[in-house]
Amino acid sequence: MISAVPLEWVLILASGLFCVGLFGALSRRHAVSMLMGIELMLNAVNINLVAFWRYTQPDEVGGMIFALFVIVVAAAEAAVGLAMAIAIYRTWQTVNVDSVDSLRG
């Protein structure tokens, strides 16, 4: 059924999503937006893993398991990152990464 869709299409979709997320993480100025871009990158990885599992190793669970670990880590990272954004806002009254920039030299 899914074999109607070649594996390449899914992988191209995942790499496109990765690159969009990369662009977001690199060029948005709002810290929360940057975190959203990183979440998109991690989701692209998961699409890759699930596609590899489905097309090349449907009888093993390795890819699925790894995807679950990626979700766990993404959730942990998001929790710490958003906590940090809130703490930054309390001190600086902004979360723009451009403005939060006193360390130089």
- Interface map 4-43 toward another protein (x if CB under 8 A): xx-xxxxxxx-xxxxxxxxxxxxxxxxxxxxxxxxxxxxx
- Window 76-105: residues binding another protein (CB under 8 A): 76-105
52 with 10: CB under 8 angstroms? no
- Smallest distance from another protein to CB 26, Å: 4
Size of the site for another protein (CB under 8 A): 102
- Interface map 43-62 toward another protein (x if CB under 8 A): xxxxxxxxxxxxxxxxx-xx
Largest CA distance in the chain: 59
User: Please, what is the angle between helix 31-56 and helix 62-92, to 10°?
Assistant: 180
